[in-house]
Amino acid sequence: MPELAEQLRLMAVHAHPDDESSKGAATMARYLAEGAQVLVVTCTGGERGSVLNPKLDRPDVWSNIADIRRAEMDAARAILGVEQAWLGFVDSGLPEGDPLPPLPEGCFALQDVEVAAGPLVRLMREFRPHVVTTYDENGGYPHPDHIMCHKISMAAFEAAGDPTRYPELGEPWQPLKLYYDIGFSKAKIMALHEAMLAAGHESPYVEWLQRWGDGPDKGARITTQVECGQYFPVRDDALRAHATQVDPDGFWFHVPMEIQRQAWPTEDFELARSLVESPLPESDLFAGVRAVGAVDTTDPR
């Protein structure tokens, strides 16, 4: 693909530190390499996240998890090369049990959507993204912070270009496209599974596919596949930087890089909102935007 004629801007809105490295990271790295500007927005500090790396499951880590996760985000940001902003909300945690316990008072998922969207509207008007990525209505998976991330992303996308909404938060700017991250589809998992077996390796996806069965599959929702296999190593390095959140010897790193690139070299998205013409399926988040250039989208209404 030719280099961008003008600098385009991509905003990726995520719930917690580490989400940016596990969802769309190689896509961001590709667009940065092509000259785009990329801002990661992190809604919460991940204060109530678990320590998922058994090597770091220690009292000193648990007692300092908020500061550690900020430091991990700093490291991942440097690896990816992105800009990053915190919205400052408090992690809701993932409630477990039957019945589910109530969410903690003051947490992100309990905020009023219109109020919580305000800081994101301000960032959209300051950064002026042409494209925004976020999660679908189920949060990608039903974590309360992921669902709330979806809600404020949708609200901010609709409000940022409207001069009558949040007038105190800067000059209006309307992003042109909004996408949902589609991290996994059954076709992707099956392709990786079969490629591992064909190469003579044990597949880490056997139990996953058995559990999946005839369950829901987001594969049919994919509209846009961005080829970015060249940047998978950057993605993995950024993910490892979130050392409390991923075991470097664990499941996510079992598939050799050459197999990943051969079997499924894309990251996948669903186009949810668009104010430009862009025939589907797409291979570029900026499809249609490039045709009109990096235009001023202030109050297009």
Binding site per annotation, positions for Zn(2+): 16, 19, 146
Q: How far is CA 211 from CA 7, 221, 222, in A?
A: 44, 21, 22
Give CA–CA dist 182/162, Å, rounded: 28
Q: Which pair of tokens denotes residue 41?
A: 């927005």
Q: How far is CA 187 from CA 115, 248, 263, in A?
A: 39, 25, 10
Classify residue 91 by its DSSP letter.
P
Whose CA is closest to 242, among 84, 79, 13? 79
Give residue 45's Cα distance to chain centre: 15
Instruction: Extract the annotated binding site.
Output: 16, 19, 146
Q: Which pair of tokens denotes residue 19?
A: 């989400």
Classify residue 203 by its DSSP letter.
P
Give residue 253's Cα distance to chain centre: 19
Alpha helices in the chain (DSSP H): 19-22, 25-33, 59-62, 65-80, 113-127, 144-159, 186-198, 206-212, 232-241, 257-263, 289-292
Q: What are phi and psi of 72, to 5 degrees?
A: -65, -40
CB 109 within 8 A of CB 144: yes
Q: Which pair of tokens denotes residue 287?
A: 């499809």
Q: Which residues, 6+ apart, have CB-to-CB distance to 28 below 8 Å?
A: 10, 12, 20, 38, 40, 80, 82
